[in-house]
A and B are shown apart, each in its own frame.
Chain A
Amino acid sequence: MELKITSSREDGVAVLAADGRLVFGPEAALLRDEAKAALAESAKVVLDLRKVGYIDSGGLGTLVGLQTSAKSANAELKLANLSTRVIGLLQVTKLYTVFDVYESVETAVASFK
């Protein structure tokens, strides 16, 4: 397993900090399960990707899937701290607009107010 997820709460917002590679397989499954649990609990979730250097196609699919299920459950998922490489991936795939992207966890959390 090349991914660790730590969860915390800030001002009623669930913050999931991912650390490692978000790739197809157990890593993507872990993120999906953790984020789904957080979305079910709080409806306001920030995913901190500061320590995620690499996302492959499977990881990207998982992120889009989470975004879709958040929307359909009237919950909100925001992404924070994207690395240059991850931003590049979202640009290549034209998926930048699908996500709510923030520079930092603080601004992402603040945006819920």
Chain B
Amino acid sequence: MAATTFTIRSSSGETRLPSLLVIEGDARRTVQVVRLPFEVGRKADKDLVFADPRVSRDHATFVVEENEYFLVDQKSRHGTYVNGNKISRQKLQRDDKIEFGVRDNMHVIFDPRPASGSSASLLLSQIASFKGNSSNDSTDLAKLTLFLDAARRLNSSGVLDEIIHTLIEATLRLTGAERGFVFLKQADGTLRIAAGMNAKSEEISDDATISQSILQDAMRANAAFMLTDTSQSGDMAMRQSVVAFDLRTVICIPLRGSSGSEVIGALYMDARYRARDFSTVSRDILQTIATEAAGLLEKARLVEAEEASRRAEQELSIAASIQQGLLTVNVPDVPFATLKARNFACKQVGGDFYDVVATPQSLGFVLADVSGKGVSAALLASTLQGMFFSHLKTGVPLCETLSTINSFLCAKSLSAKYATAVLVDLRADGEMEFVNCGHVAPVMVMNGKVLRPSEGCMPVGLIPTAEYTSMKLQLQPGDRMIIVTDGVTEAENVAGDFFDNLRLEEVVERGGSLEDILAAVDAFRGDHALTDDCTIIEVVYTGAGA
């Protein structure tokens, strides 16, 4: 498996950054720790956010000391638990189980070890002690049951092949059959050979001598297994294999899914002895295999699917950290203004972005919100961020920048993917030029009064013929502009109300800063989780003479 490793350098050397497996009910997700300290809590700006009210707003923090990880409880109301013990500060080991206040349906596994085939190998060595159907058949049956039990507990990757091989090996030994094959049903309904083996555990990949008609009959039959005496069979292919191998009996076991009805494959064996010589215990063994093996394969398939989704989540986590990197904007220092910005994504990756560029004469910045959510929005956001940055850097007029970006997006048939944005250029003399492209109107505070300039244009990427016109304002020292994305104005409380423009204006009116807006949104939404990314920019014009 190609896994990316995240490391952090400090005075004490290089430390590998752990990942966290977050399990909430049936849902699992992997969160990559990308910085330290790594904070956990209910507040929206935490590195790991839980909406459950039993999680405190500032609940706990992961820290690293001397290359060891520690979890520090931040005086949380409902406590932090490691492996069931309440802790205030605890050194962490891989696979430690952590609970943040919630102890019934949510926990976190610290830096889980990657799944491997080791447990499957262990099983193989366990069943190596099988002696075949020799002296005591009932012991063999017990062993098979033991094997199936153990295999059912398997929780490992790449296990399907090993399960199939082990299954064939075990049943060959137990039944004394000559050859064994497992067939799995493909998406198109046909059976394809998954593995074949002879009694010497040698692989057989050629299934030409297998009686397809017996296989098909067994799949259609409603029986747990089918014994066919080939001397009675009219199948010519079978007669050929009878001659070649001196086989007399074909055993075919349809493998049924857990629902019991759907056949997911078949276990096919042929043997030298006659069907009627089959002992009662051997029939019991076949019965056991028939009922257990399919569930086993199904489980193995599930484990593999889960592993695939875990890998996908890891990829997503990498995408999130790349995007986090892009969103880490170094706000340049200019003598005439200060700019502060905060962004938090409600999903791992988000569609909000901002960027800031200082030229000798002005401070240019953009805040944008790409429609939709998730990876597709994040991809477009990254592209747009690059376009805005280069246009701002080279001093292209705002409206021209937007026309270019609009025609770029419209030409790419991105099925209604677009962005709303506010693009601003603040000059040292206080002249502010901006274009609102379908975005929440900026909040201006000029001479202590709150204004909402509602002039604006269409979003970029929707209408090819959209035209962009800018608006100009003359700022005085102390005047400020606040731009938010609709994740802020549409933050919902438990009652389903939006935070909305009025509450935003109220906070700004009483002099509230960016932090005050965040706090107000947090207080308003209470335990209701954010459903959209939130970004806020606040720029204060401090004056040219400063």
Contacts and interface: CB of A to CB of B under 8 A. Distances in A.
B270 interface: no
Contact of A24 (B371, B439, B462): B371
Interface in A77-94: 91-94
B18 interface: no
A76 B462 CA distance: 18
B526 interface: no
A61 B380 CA distance: 14
Contact of B462 (A25, A56, A64, A91): A64
Interface of A is mostly: helix
Contacts of A25: 373
Contact of A93 (B417, B458, B532): B458
A58 interface: yes
A57 B420 contact: yes
B168 to A, nearest CB: 43
Contacts of B457: 94
Contact of B441 (A24, A92, A95): A92
A24 B416 contact: no
Contacts of B463: 64, 95, 98
Contacts of B490: 56
A70 to B, nearest CB: 13
Chain B interface: which size bin?
20 to 34
A52 interface: no
B372 A24 contact: yes
B209 to A, nearest CB: 50
A77 to B, nearest CB: 14
Point out which of A24, A60, A94 has the most chain B C-beta atoms below 10 A from its C-beta.
A94
Contacts of A94: 438, 456-458
B350 interface: no
Contacts of B459: 93, 95
B458 A61 contact: no
A83 B463 CA distance: 23
A95 B372 contact: no
B372 A58 contact: yes
Interface in A4-62: 24-25, 56-58, 60-62
A62 B373 CA distance: 14
Contacts of B440: 92
Nearest to A64: B462
A61 B456 contact: no
Contacts of A98: 458, 463
Nearest to B486: A57
B371 A58 contact: yes
Contact of B369 (A24, A57, A64): A57
A65 B373 contact: no
Interface in B14-73: none
B416 A64 contact: yes
B416 A95 contact: no
Interface of A: 24-25, 56-58, 60-62, 64-65, 91-95, 98
20 contacts: A25-B373, A57-B372, A57-B420, A58-B372, A61-B372, A61-B417, A62-B416, A64-B416, A64-B418, A65-B415, A65-B416, A92-B438, A92-B440, A92-B454, A93-B420, A93-B438, A93-B458, A94-B457, A95-B459, A95-B462
